[in-house]
């Protein structure tokens, strides 16, 4: 009866797809039954698999410990389930799930009933599922996505990678109204309710503002159903799209800016498709070509260019990425304008070519260029017609980069080095000039003069005016604009004039000396001859008067004697004024003292004489005469022009130089008029200055209208002797 019962159990299990074995433990553990289907799978016969020892050899080595643990439970009378791998005779490995049950009679385990089945495919699917779940989890971990489930009341029941709360526990059991601001929760809840109401998947966006920051989310959701298909909640995934929303906002702003730039651009812009059909054009484009926008849309680009001089051969769009050209255009109203057109190829979303045409009205620039060209031609004609050498000098290379016709005629060629044409004696001066140019200001004009060799090999004097023309990026002077004149004849004339001037100065000095000698001769004649004759005549009249008795006649003779006395005094005074004997007898210092006394006594002046104590004023007679005449001229100038009768004369000596100054506080005058130009009123001062030069001296004047005058004369004690040119 028991056997029939086991057989029934075995058949039932095998009908359910299980393999069955019965292991008898009555004597030696032996399999009393093995399912035939199992034997087919493993490839062994029932005789080969007779004992548990052989069975253990079929088990995968890594799983044999599992059987050991199983056996321990069976010995204790405990049924157990074990999953392990079996290796067939041909080496194939398959998984089995084994349920073993100990059969006990009278407190003793007499046999073991094992039911097992092939779970290889199920195990493979399970492993694949685990791997898939692992990959899914990794993907979720690395993706900016939160996954969650909510029940029918939209309370969170499960949440993975929360984005709004810090951890899932903060959201479980709560709704969006418990977590989000109220306004934000209204929108998110409405989206989720649509899933429950429609039973369909949905996708939408909502935003959440927390701590002053707004985040945007993309929601994808579908109903959560039980085994019967009843909706029990929702499955959702959200992705934070704040960054994309920000980019989208910036893109819209960029598009708005582009649209504003496009519509308000000063240049014309148009977009054409690959067939030449106009897609869009701004107002400047339409205005430039003189067409309303609706007319332009009817024109194809190639027809348009043919109408406006261009042709596809000139503008091969399909073969060139970018082209540009400037041409005149005749508009519909007959107006001629100049335009610069550039066209480039771009790709649309379908990778089809489109053409961007940009046109700029350059009429004014063209007119300015034409005017500039005319101006340059006029300037060239002017510079070529002037006798002035005009050229641009590259001071780094030392060569001319531009010359006018006059300069070309002078230099002969453009590639010569200027420094090689400078006179050897002027090379140092040329180097100093280049150093000065290096620090020159832009508007500064530097004047110089050099001896240079022209193309004929002649040394000529060039007088030049130089100005910075161009600088390098570092601010260094690299080019200089030079205007030069051939000053050779002028310099030769100046030398001749200076020669004649020197001769005149020398002659004037000789004349002055001769004048003084003549004065002395005349004074001597007056004193020694005329004066003595008058004195003898007066003596004779006195003798004759004593012999005459008539009173009337004696009285008349007294009158004649008085007249003779006056004549003698006048003659003596005139002789002294012509040539004071004191100048020759006692020297310059005594003569000045006498001159001051004479001016004070005779003309009522108040002249104060000051001189350096113990000063040595012994001078060569010719120098003494010159200084005496100069002081007398200056004092008479005070008397005649200063409108005062007070003055000061100061005599000093500094080493080998004598200084004499005459100062007054009178009307004063503009001394520049006398120093810079010849003025007849200042001839006396001019004469003094020129004669002083002859003796190596000089005269300095300090004066202004209403502020008095100071004239200081300085002259060497031993002046250099100038020789008068004999053939003057």
User: For the residues 295-305, what does the mean pLDDT come to?
Assistant: 53
Give yes or no for a contact between 187 and 203, defined as CB atoms under 8 angstroms apart: no
User: b/e map of 471-510 (b: 16 or more CB within 10 Å)?
Assistant: eeeeeebbbbbbbbbbbbeeeeeeeeeeeeebbbbbbbbe
* Residue-level pLDDT at 188: 92
> How confident is the model over 187-219, as pLDDT tens digits?
999 999 999 999 999 999 999 998 888 999 999
User: Which 3 state secondary structure label does DSSP give 332?
Assistant: coil
> How confident is the model over 438-450, as pLDDT tens digits?
888 888 888 888 8
> How confident is the model over 576-620, as pLDDT tens digits?
666 666 676 677 788 888 888 888 888 888 899 888 766 677 777
User: b/e map of 662-683 (b: 16 or more CB within 10 Å)?
Assistant: bbbebebbebeebeeeeeeebe
User: For the residues 648-655, what does the mean pLDDT come to?
Assistant: 87
Measuring CA to CA, which residue among 581, 564, 570 is closest to residue 524?
581
Whole-number Å distance between alpha carbons of 576 and 628: 14
Q: Alpha helix (H) ranges present in 28-93? A: 36-42, 52-58, 64-75
Whole-number Å distance between alpha carbons of 290 and 267: 14
Banded model confidence at residue 184, pLDDT cuts 50, 70, 90: very high
Which are the contacts of 612, defined by CB distance < 8 A and separation ≥ 6? Answer: 651, 652, 653
> How confident is the model over 223-259, as pLDDT tens digits?
999 888 899 999 999 988 888 888 888 888 888 888 8
> How confident is the model over 82-113, as pLDDT tens digits?
999 999 999 999 899 999 999 888 888 888 88
Backbone angles phi, psi at 35, to 5 degrees: -60, 130
Does residue 147 have a pLDDT over 70?
yes
* Residue-level pLDDT at 334: 73
- Measured CA to CA in angstroms, residue 400 lies from 286, 392, 408, 456, 468 at distances of 50, 6, 10, 18, 14
Give yes or no for a contact between 628 and 576, defined as CB atoms under 8 angstroms apart: no
Which are the contacts of 274, defined by CB distance < 8 A and separation ≥ 6? Answer: 352, 353, 354, 355
Strands, E assignment, 564-674: 606-611, 646-654, 657-664
* Residue-level pLDDT at 517: 66
Strand partners, 463: 449, 485
Banded model confidence at residue 310, pLDDT cuts 50, 70, 90: very low
> How confident is the model over 413-426, as pLDDT tens digits?
666 678 888 899 98
Higher confidence at residue 676 or residue 419? Answer: 419
> How confident is the model over 118-138, as pLDDT tens digits?
888 888 888 877 777 666 666
* Straight-line distance from the first to the last Cα atom of the chain, in angstroms, rounded to the nearest whole number: 178
At CA 450, angle to CA 447 and CA 455, rounded to 5?
125
Structure tokens at 153: 């009341």
> How confident is the model over 32-73, as pLDDT tens digits?
888 888 888 888 888 888 778 888 889 999 999 998 998 899
DSSP label at residue 527: I
Does residue 176 have a pLDDT over 80?
yes
Structure tokens at 567: 């004549």
* Residue-level pLDDT at 309: 37
Banded model confidence at residue 683, pLDDT cuts 50, 70, 90: low
Kindly report the average pLDDT of the chain as a whole number: 80
Higher confidence at residue 526 or residue 47? Answer: 47
Q: What percent of the chain has pLDDT over 70?
A: 81
Residue 699's Cβ-count burial label (10 Å; 0-12, 13-18, 19+) is: buried
* Residue-level pLDDT at 80: 92
Does residue 139 have a pLDDT over 80?
no
Q: Please provide the DSSP assignment of 359-403 as one string.
A: EEE-HHHHHHHHHHHHHHHHHHHHHHHSSSEEEEEETTTTEEEEE
User: For the residues 539-556, what does the mean pLDDT come to?
Assistant: 73
Structure tokens at 351: 């990778």
Query: Which H or E run includes 502?
Result: helix 488-525
* Residue-level pLDDT at 191: 92
Structure tokens at 696: 């190596």
DSSP label at residue 581: H
Weakest mean pLDDT among 34-48, 158-172, 305-319, 528-542: 305-319
* Residue-level pLDDT at 644: 87
Weakest mean pLDDT among 271-275, 308-312, 439-443: 308-312
Give yes or no for a contact between 701 and 685, defined as CB atoms under 8 angstroms apart: yes
Which are the contacts of 621, defined by CB distance < 8 A and separation ≥ 6? Answer: 584
Measuring CA to CA, which residue among 547, 625, 544 is closest to residue 584?
625
> How confident is the model over 461-501, as pLDDT tens digits?
888 888 888 888 888 888 888 888 888 888 787 777 777 76
Banded model confidence at residue 319, pLDDT cuts 50, 70, 90: very low
Banded model confidence at residue 155, pLDDT cuts 50, 70, 90: very high
Banded model confidence at residue 152, pLDDT cuts 50, 70, 90: very high
- Measured CA to CA in angstroms, residue 462 lies from 305, 389, 576, 617, 688 at distances of 59, 9, 56, 48, 35
Banded model confidence at residue 728, pLDDT cuts 50, 70, 90: very low
Measuring CA to CA, which residue among 456, 505, 308, 479 is closest to residue 401?
479
* Residue-level pLDDT at 724: 35
* Residue-level pLDDT at 532: 66
Q: What percent of the chain has pLDDT over 90?
A: 14
Which are the contacts of 424, defined by CB distance < 8 A and separation ≥ 6? Answer: none
Structure tokens at 228: 């019967």
The 3-state DSSP composition of the chain as helix, strand, coil percent (nearest 5) reads 45, 30, 25
């Amino acid at each position: 009866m028991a056997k029939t019962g086991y057989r029934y159990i075995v058949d039932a299990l095998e009908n359910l797809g299980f393999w069955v074995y019965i292991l008898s433990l009555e004597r030696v553990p032996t399999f009393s039954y093995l399912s035939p289907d199992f034997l087919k799978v493993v490839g062994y016969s029932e005789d080969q698999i007779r004992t548990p020892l052989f069975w253990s050899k079929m088990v995968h080595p890594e799983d044999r410990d599992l059987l050991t643990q199983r056996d321990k439970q069976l010995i204790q009378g405990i049924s157990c389930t074990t999953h392990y791998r079996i290796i067939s005779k041909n080496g194939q490995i398959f998984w089995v799930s084994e349920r073993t049950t100990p059969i006990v009679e009278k407190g003793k385990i007499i046999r073991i009933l094992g039911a097992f089945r092939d779970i290889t495919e199920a195990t493979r699917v399970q492993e694949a599922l685990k791997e898939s779940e692992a990959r899914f989890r990794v993907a979720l971990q690395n993706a900016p996505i939160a996954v969650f489930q909510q029940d029918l009341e939209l309370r969170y029941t499960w949440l993975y990678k929360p984005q709004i709360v810090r951890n899932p526990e903060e959201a479980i059991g709560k709704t969006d109204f418990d977590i989000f601001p109220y306004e934000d929760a209204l929108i998110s809840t409405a989206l989720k309710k649509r899933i429950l109401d429609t039973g369909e998947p949905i996708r939408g966006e909502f935003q959440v503002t927390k701590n002053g920051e707004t985040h945007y989310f993309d929601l994808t959701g579908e109903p959560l159903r039980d085994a019967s298909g009843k909706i029990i909640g929702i499955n959702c995934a959200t992705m934070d799209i704040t960054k994309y929303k920000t980019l989208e906002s910036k893109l819209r702003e960029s598009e708005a800016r582009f649209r504003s730039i496009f519509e308000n651009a000063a240049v014309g812009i148009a977009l054409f498709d690959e067939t030449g059909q106009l897609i869009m054009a701004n107002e400047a484009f339409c205005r430039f070509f003189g067409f309303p926008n609706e007319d332009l849309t009817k024109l194809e680009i190639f027809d348009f260019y043919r109408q406006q001089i261009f042709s596809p051969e000139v503008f091969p769009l399909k073969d060139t990425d970018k082209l540009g050209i400037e041409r005149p255009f005749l508009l519909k109203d007959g107006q001629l304008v100049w335009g610069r057109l550039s066209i480039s190829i771009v790709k649309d979303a379908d990778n089809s070519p489109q053409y961007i045409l940009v046109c700029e009205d350059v009429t004014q620039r063209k007119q300015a260029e034409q005017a500039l060209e005319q101006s340059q031609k006029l300037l060239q004609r002017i510079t070529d017609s002037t006798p002035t050498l005009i050229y641009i000098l590259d001071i780094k290379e030392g060569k001319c980069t531009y010359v006018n016709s006059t300069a070309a005629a002078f230099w002969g060629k453009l590639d010569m080095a200027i420094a090689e044409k400078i006179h050897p004696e002027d090379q140092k001066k040329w180097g100093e000039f280049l150093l000065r140019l290096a620090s020159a200001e832009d508007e500064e004009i530097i004047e110089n003069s050099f001896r240079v060799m022209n193309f004929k090999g002649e040394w000529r004097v060039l007088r030049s005016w130089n100005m910075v023309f161009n600088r390098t990026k570092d601010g260094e002077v690299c080019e200089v604009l030079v205007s030069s004149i051939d000053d050779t004849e002028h310099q030769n004339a100046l030398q001749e004039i200076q020669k004649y001037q020197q001769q005149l100065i020398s002659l004037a000095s000789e004349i002055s000396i001769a004048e003084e000698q003549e004065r002395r001769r005349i004074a001597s004649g007056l004193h020694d001859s005329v004066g003595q004759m008058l004195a003898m005549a007066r003596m004779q009249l006195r003798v004759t008067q004593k012999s005459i008795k008539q009173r009337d006649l004696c009285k008349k003779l007294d009158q004649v004697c008085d007249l003779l006395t006056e004549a003698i005094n006048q003659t003596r005074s005139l002789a002294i004024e012509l040539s004071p004997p004191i100048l020759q007898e006692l020297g310059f210092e005594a003569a000045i003292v006498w001159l001051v006394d004479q001016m004070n006594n005779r003309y009522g002046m108040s002249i104060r004489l000051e001189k350096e104590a113990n000063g040595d004023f012994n001078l060569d007679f010719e120098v003494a005469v010159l200084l005496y005449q100069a002081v007398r001229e200056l004092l008479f100038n005070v008397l005649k022009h200063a409108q005062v009768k007070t003055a000061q004369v100061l005599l000093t000596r500094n080493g080998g130089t004598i200084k004499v100054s005459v100062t007054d506080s009178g009307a004063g005058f503009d001394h520049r008029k006398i120093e810079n130009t010849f003025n007849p009123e200042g001839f006396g001062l001019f004469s003094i200055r020129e004669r002083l030069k002859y003796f190596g001296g000089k005269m300095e004047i300090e004066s202004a209208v209403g502020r008095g005058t100071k004239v200081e004369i300085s002259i060497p004690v031993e002046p250099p002797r100038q020789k008068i040119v004999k053939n003057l």
